[in-house]
């Protein structure tokens, strides 16, 4: 499954190959060339738990939840949303944002990919105190890596190295007082 937004075609959303018969539900740049091979992925739903390439599915449920199930029907990822509206729609806009919203007059946004960044920020995407960017493991392995960029409890922008054996603040210098960290 793959769908491009019709207006400018800059982004695509769908199942993106992350290994042999391993896929993640993702958003990526379609340009240039409109191909998925070596595309720049900007968001992934299930980067640490890929699904089987055959018969896995993404479903918009009647309760307003978007769910990704593997071939054995096990739940791999979901938006954890709910709606009493009988009309919920998944919309993909020109900015690369995937939105789940009610289509009634209020148009309440239930969930959007911009609120859950992976390792990339796009123009018009807001980085808040609740956001966190987590690096990919490597250029060829898109699972979660060891670096995280976030705002701490003192609203200081931090880069954390959280490796398999060692963890610690990488930037700004941990010995700086918060009022001197800039």
pLDDT digits (tens, 9 = 90+) for 75-122: 999 999 998 887 899 999 999 999 999 887 677 899 999 999 999 999
Q: What is the pTM of this model?
A: 0.86
Domain-embedded: residue 141: yes
CA dihedral 159, 112, 58, 73 (to 10 degrees): 60
Which pLDDT does position 107 carry in this prediction? 79
String of DSSP letters for 3-18: EE-TTT--EEEEEEEE
Say if residues 11 and 29 touch (Cβ distance below 8 Å): yes
pLDDT, residue 155, reads 83
- What is the predicted pLDDT for the residue at 43? 97
According to the model, what pLDDT value does residue 39 have? Answer: 82
b/e 99-122 (16+ beta carbons within 10 angstroms → b): bbbbeeeeeeebbbbbeebbbbeb
Q: Summarize the confidence of residues 131-148 as an average pLDDT.
A: 95
Q: Quickly tell me which residue has 């200081």 as its tokens.
A: 156
Give me the number of domains the chain comprises: 1
Residue 28 lies in a domain: no
- What's the rounded Cα separation, in Å, for the pair 12 and 24? 13
Res 91: pLDDT: 92
152 inside domain: yes
Q: Give pLDDT, residue 86.
A: 78
- What pLDDT, on the 0 to 100 scale, is given for residue 5? 41
Mean pLDDT of 116-142: 94
What residues make up the domain containing 128? 117-182
Our CA angle for 152, 156, 161, nearest 5°, is 60
Q: Is it the case that residue 148 has pLDDT exceeding 80?
A: yes
How many percent of the chain have pLDDT more than 90?
66
Is residue 45 situated within a structural domain?
no
Decide if 123 is inside a domain.
yes
What would the mean pLDDT of 29-33 be, rounded to a whole number? Answer: 71
């Amino acid at each position: 499954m793959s769908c491009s937004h019709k207006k400018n075609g800059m982004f695509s959303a769908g199942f993106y190959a992350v290994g042999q018969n391993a896929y993640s539900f993702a958003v990526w740049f379609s340009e240039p060339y409109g191909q998925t091979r070596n595309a720049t992925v900007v968001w992934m739903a299930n980067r640490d738990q890929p699904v089987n390439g055959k018969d896995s599915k993404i479903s918009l449920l009647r309760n307003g939840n978007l769910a990704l199930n593997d071939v054995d029907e096990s739940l791999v990822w979901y938006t954890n949303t709910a709606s009493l509206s009988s009309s919920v729609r998944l919309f993909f806009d020109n900015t690369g944002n995937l939105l789940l919203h009610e289509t009634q007059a209020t148009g309440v946004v239930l969930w959007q990919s911009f609120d859950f960044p992976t390792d990339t920020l796009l123009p018009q995407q807001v980085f808040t105190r609740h956001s966190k960017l987590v690096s990919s493991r490597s250029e060829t392995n898109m699972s979660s890596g060891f670096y995280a960029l976030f705002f701490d409890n003192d609203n200081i922008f931090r880069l954390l190295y959280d490796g398999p054996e060692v963890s610690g603040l990488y930037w700004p210098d941990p010995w700086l007082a918060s009022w001197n960290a800039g």
